[in-house]
């Protein structure tokens, strides 16, 4: 072999890079740019779930968390939720039911034992007394229901941030908004009472006209007015469902809270209505499942307490005593179950309020910022306040009460 055949150029025998326009050899990685490793797969950032410091994850909510979180609120802090339900709604409802049942028994006994000539007066007095007691019971129930709404809204907001409050702290949070809450509850109830009274008045006036035309007109007015009032109630109540939450958490006035709720539910009406109706159906089914057996027990108990009511000298008194006992038992069970159901419904509406603000205003980012700042010991204003008030220094903006 000659020297020319033995001689090799430097780098001979080593793999050569492909020439321009030629495909790379098998097993080699092509270079697409001037930087080393450009085009090669690198470590990809992983997906980080949103933080969940408390009741819900801090992101816009889907149907599952919206339905599960109200029931979880009962379990996370039962001393506040169940305790507030019994204290603010259950006990007043039980006391009102007992007073009304006792008053009805007393008035009915007076009618039964009165003279025949005094019967019209006694009956009119009994009707008036029952009406007064009913109105008083409605007023008491309305006031305490408004207070329960405020307490549950504050509790849900704090549980969302992973904090637990005592009842005293919650009362400190709500006490400045009691007047607005009660005023809103009365105003809404009065508006629907006036609307219902107008429909009933039209039906009665048409019926009093007499004749076939009057009867047909009264029936038509009742049907159209009933369905129209039901549709209007669904629309108005859904649009204004966020008013208590805005009153408590954003510290708004009554008129500002009404406008706020109306804006928040824009473009989310059917979703808001569907979730509220679904929660109501669930609570109603559970309430009836628990209350119906106790109603049947109360009926059987009446036969045990007054087995000889038909043959006694005073059968009316026996029946009244029996009915009073049945009403007391049924009212106690219904009031307790209904109070817990009210907590679930109010918590669901409060969560819908938070969800709407997350979707439309980025409240979830403010809540995450607040939680992170709290972990580092920083002091920030209440994240649920409007941006104008939240921009104030922490000392000037109203903050959270101490837990």
Residue 403 placed within a domain: no
**Residue range 7-35: average pLDDT?**
50
| Greater model confidence, 144 or 400 | 144
pLDDT on residue 4:
47
| Contact indicator for 156, 73 with CB cutoff of 8 Å | yes
Q: Give the C-alpha distances (Å, rounded to integers) separating 188 from 132, 201, 310, 371.
A: 21, 20, 46, 36
Q: Is residue 226 in some structural domain? A: no
Task: Report d(CA 264, CA 365) in Å as an integer.
Answer: 18
What pTM was computed for the model? 0.76
Q: What is the mean pLDDT of the chain?
A: 77
Q: Work out the pLDDT band at 34, boundaries 50, 70, 90.
A: very low
Question: Does 369 map to a domain?
Answer: no
pLDDT for 46: 54
> What backbone phi and psi angles, to 5 degrees, belong to 258?
-65, -45
Confirm whether 287 is domain-assigned. yes
Mean pLDDT of 35-47: 49
Residue 337 belongs to what domain range? Answer: 63-184+267-364
For residue 176, is pLDDT > 90? no
**375 within domain boundaries:** no
- Domain count for the chain, please give it: 1
Q: Give the tens place of pLDDT for each residue, 363-386.
A: 999 999 998 888 888 888 888 988
What pLDDT score was predicted for residue 336? 79
The pLDDT assigned to 249 comes to 92
* Mean pLDDT within 395-399: 44
Mean pLDDT, range 147-176, rounded to an integer: 86
**What does the pLDDT look like over 85-102, one tens digit per residue?**
888 877 777 777 777 777
Q: How confident is the model over 237-251, as a mean pLDDT?
A: 93
The pLDDT tens digits for 187-232 are 998 999 999 999 999 998 888 887 788 788 888 988 999 999 999 9
- Per-residue confidence band for 399, with pLDDT thresholds at 50, 70 and 90: very low
CA nearest to 340, candidates 3, 81, 23, 96: 81
Mean pLDDT across the stretch 331-358? 88
Q: Determine, yes or no, domain membership for 374.
A: no
- Domain membership of residue 323 (yes or no) is yes
| Residues contacting residue 279 through CB under 8 Å, at least 6 positions apart | 67, 70, 344, 345, 348
In this structure, is residue 302 part of a structural domain? yes
Q: How far is CA 91 from CA 88, 152, 331, 345, in A?
A: 7, 17, 10, 19
């Amino acid at each position: 072999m000659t020297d020319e055949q033995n001689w090799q150029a430097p780098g001979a025998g080593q793999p050569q890079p492909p020439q321009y326009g030629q495909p790379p050899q098998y097993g080699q990685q092509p270079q697409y740019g001037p930087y080393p490793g450009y085009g090669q797969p690198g470590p990809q950032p992983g997906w980080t779930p949103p933080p969940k410091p408390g009741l819900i994850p801090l992101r816009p909510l889907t149907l599952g968390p919206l339905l599960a979180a109200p029931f979880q609120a009962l379990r996370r802090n039962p001393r506040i939720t169940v305790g507030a339900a019994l204290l603010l709604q259950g006990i007043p409802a039980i006391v009102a039911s007992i007073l009304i049942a006792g008053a009805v028994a007393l008035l009915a006994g007076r009618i039964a034992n009165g003279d025949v000539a005094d019967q019209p007066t006694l009956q009119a007095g009994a009707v008036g007394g029952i009406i007064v007691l009913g109105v008083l019971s409605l007023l008491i129930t309305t006031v305490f229901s408004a207070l329960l709404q405020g307490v549950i809204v504050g509790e849900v907001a704090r549980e969302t941030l992973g904090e637990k409050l005592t009842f005293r702290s919650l009362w400190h949070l709500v006490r400045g908004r009691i007047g607005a809450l009660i005023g809103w509850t009365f105003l809404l109830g009065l508006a629907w009472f006036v609307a219902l009274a107008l429909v009933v008045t039209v039906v009665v006036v048409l019926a009093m006209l007499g004749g076939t035309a009057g009867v047909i007109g009264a029936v038509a007015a009742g049907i159209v007015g009933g369905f129209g009032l039901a549709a209007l109630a669904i629309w108005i109540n859904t649009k204004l469902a966020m008013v208590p939450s805005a009153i408590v958490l954003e510290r708004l006035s009554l008129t500002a809270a009404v406008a706020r709720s109306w804006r928040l539910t824009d473009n989310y009406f059917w979703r808001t209505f569907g979730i509220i109706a679904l929660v109501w159906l669930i609570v109603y089914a559970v309430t009836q499942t628990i209350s119906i057996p106790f109603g049947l027990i109360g009926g059987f108990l009446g036969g045990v307490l007054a087995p000889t009511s038909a043959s006694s000298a005073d059968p009316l008194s026996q029946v009244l005593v029996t009915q009073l006992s049945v009403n007391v038992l049924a009212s106690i069970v219904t009031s307790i179950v209904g109070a817990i159901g009210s907590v679930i419904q109010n918590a669901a509406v409060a969560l819908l309020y938070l969800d709407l603000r997350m979707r439309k205003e980025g409240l979830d980012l403010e809540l995450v910022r607040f939680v992170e700042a709290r972990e580092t010991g920083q002091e920030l204003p209440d994240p649920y306040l409007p941006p104008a008030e939240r921009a104030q220094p922490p000392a000037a903006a109203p903050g959270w009460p101490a837990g």
